């Protein structure tokens, strides 16, 4: 079931692979400069906290419905062309945020942005597999995702700083510029890099397996839990800092990102050698501890300790699941492999803030985060066991 052989030292560090890293960086910045601002931006328009929480999740809600079809498009049509079109529309939608004056307009725009965000996020990762040897997939995805981590480290800080000094519009404008740079990067990729095979290009009837990988269901639900926690951090951490008077709480994202930068190459190589389960079980435990620490933290020091636990847990868990899905489904179904796992991420991102808006009043931030930490640990381990048993049975049938 798992690949326990030492990886073939196939060439990883090529010019196209370095371009993939840059593409991930600018695409990540476009998202990270804008997404963490949405709740505060909505509040500035006169909305209450519940409405702000709902608005923050709308982009992921739209992405949730688009994601399966984004995977289908990615597996059946040239990925370069898909990305060129979607990045044009994505940049326009981000820049349009500068002109938002009402909450309904913002809600509609977040839904629209979510469509293009979903197509980009699925297709970029599927496109990236063209330049990574299968034997080093975990390591390659680990390195390429470091660009996204860097974007997570600098994006929210830049976005918040620009919003405070020049207004929210400046942050959304720069996010749109990053999307335009991503478009330019796609255009500069060498020709002949498409991975769509003639068999896949054939117009065939759309089946469930073209939109969703049922064999990855349990792991998809684990990513729901991880992204649920991530959505609460992005939506509520700045508000928690204000409520508890914790200055510099944005350093959470910086320390979190730096920890992942250190860990990701190691965990990628470990994945290639030992498989997903060696990484995922401890990842769930560390993420659960991190969420509980955030719930009780009253000082910046404890918040930063929690960020390290979250980096070991959540920061390593979801990428390992994604690499596992790509390994099992192969490059021909890379689009559906990516979209299946991202459906889970979008579910958590979309409904996490909404559920948080309901739980804040009766539970408060402390009990809400502790409740989630325990939920993550128990359900995550159960789902991981279900996935393991399912894959073991399929392996036994295949070898029989």
Classify residue 186: in a domain, yes or no.
yes
- Residue 328 lies in domain: 15-196+209-399
pLDDT digits (tens, 9 = 90+) for 98-130: 999 999 999 999 999 989 988 988 888 888 877
Q: 0.85 cut: is pTM over it?
A: no
Show Cβ contacts of residue 81 under 8 Å, excluding neighbours closer than 6 positions: none
DSSP state of 132: S
pLDDT, position 206? 66
pLDDT digits (tens, 9 = 90+) for 266-303: 887 788 788 889 889 999 999 999 999 999 989 999 99
The domain total for the chain is 1
CATH number at residue 160: 1.20.1250.20
pLDDT digits (tens, 9 = 90+) for 192-223: 545 554 444 444 566 666 778 888 899 999 99
Contact 211, 71 (CB under 8 A): yes
pLDDT over 70 percentage in the chain: 92
- Mean pLDDT across 325-345: 82
Torsion angle of the four alpha carbons 64, 66, 68, 74, in this order, in degrees rounded to the nearest 10: -130
Whether 322 has a pLDDT exceeding 90, the answer reads no
Show Cβ contacts of residue 287 under 8 Å, excluding neighbours closer than 6 positions: 226, 229, 309, 310, 312, 313, 314, 317, 373, 376, 380
**Region label for 363, one of left (φ > 0), alpha (ψ between -120 and 50) or beta (otherwise):** alpha
Classify residue 235: in a domain, yes or no.
yes
Classify residue 9: in a domain, yes or no.
no
- Mean pLDDT across 249-264: 84
Q: Which of 223, 220, 237 is nearest to 35 (CA)?
A: 237
- Quickly list DSSP for 270-313: HHHHH-SHHHHHHHHHHHHHHHHHHHH--SHHHHHHHHHHHHHH
Classify residue 370: in a domain, yes or no.
yes
> How far apart (Å, rounded) are the C-alpha atoms in residues 316 and 279?
7
Q: Which of 310, 300, 276 is nearest to 391 (CA)?
A: 276
CA dihedral (382, 291, 150, 171) positive or negative: positive
Classify residue 201: in a domain, yes or no.
no
pLDDT, position 245? 85
CA dihedral (194, 152, 11, 395) positive or negative: negative
- Mean pLDDT across 235-252: 85
Classify residue 149: in a domain, yes or no.
yes
Classify residue 144: in a domain, yes or no.
yes
Classify residue 8: in a domain, yes or no.
no
The rounded mean pLDDT for the chain is: 84
How much helix, strand and coil, in percent to the nearest 5, is found in the chain?
Answer: 85, 0, 15
């Amino acid at each position: 079931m798992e690949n326990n052989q030492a990886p073939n030292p196939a060439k990883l560090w090529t010019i196209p692979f370095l371009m993939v890293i840059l593409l991930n960086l600018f695409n990540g910045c476009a998202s990270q400069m804008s997404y963490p601002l949405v709740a505060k931006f909505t509040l500035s328009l006169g909305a209450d906290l519940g409405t702000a929480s709902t608005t923050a999740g709308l982009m992921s809600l739209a992405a949730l419905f688009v994601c399966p079809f984004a995977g289908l498009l990615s597996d059946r049509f040239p990925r370069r062309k898909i990305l060129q079109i979607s990045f044009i529309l994505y940049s326009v939608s981000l820049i349009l945020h500068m002109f938002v004056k009402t909450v309904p307009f913002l809600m509609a725009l977040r839904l629209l942005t979510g469509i293009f965000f979903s197509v980009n996020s699925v297709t970029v990762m599927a496109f990236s597999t063209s330049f990574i040897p299968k034997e080093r997939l975990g390591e390659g995805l680990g390195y390429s995702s470091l660009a996204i981590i860097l974007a997570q480290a600098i994006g929210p800080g830049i976005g918040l700083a620009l919003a405070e000094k020049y207004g929210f519009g400046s942050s959304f404008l720069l996010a749109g510029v990053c999307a335009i740079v991503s478009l330019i990067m796609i255009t500069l990729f060498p020709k002949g890099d498409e991975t769509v095979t003639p068999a896949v290009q054939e117009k065939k009837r759309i089946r469930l397996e073209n939109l969703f990988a049922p064999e990855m269901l349990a792991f998809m639900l684990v990513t729901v839990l991880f992204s649920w926690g991530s959505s609460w951090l992005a939506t509520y951490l700045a508000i928690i800092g204000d409520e508890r008077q914790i200055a510099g709480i944005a350093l959470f994202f910086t320390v979190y990102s730096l920890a992942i930068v250190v860990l990701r190459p190691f965990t990628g190589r470990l994945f290639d050698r030992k498989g997903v389960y060696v990484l995922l079980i401890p990842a769930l435990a560390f993420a659960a501890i991190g969420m509980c620490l955030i719930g009780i933290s009253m000082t910046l020091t404890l918040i930063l300790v929690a960020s390290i636990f979250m980096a070991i847990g959540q920061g390593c868990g979801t990428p390992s699941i994604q690499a596992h899905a790509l390994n099992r489904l192969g490059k021909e179904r890379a689009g559906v492999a990516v979209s299946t796992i991202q459906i889970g991420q979008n579910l958590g991102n979309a409904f996490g803030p909404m559920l948080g808006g309901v739980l804040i009043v009766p539970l408060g931030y402390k009990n809400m985060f502790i409740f989630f930490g325990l939920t993550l640990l128990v359900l995550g381990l159960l789902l991981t066991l279900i996935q393991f048993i399912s894959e073991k049975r399929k392996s036994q049938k295949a070898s029989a």
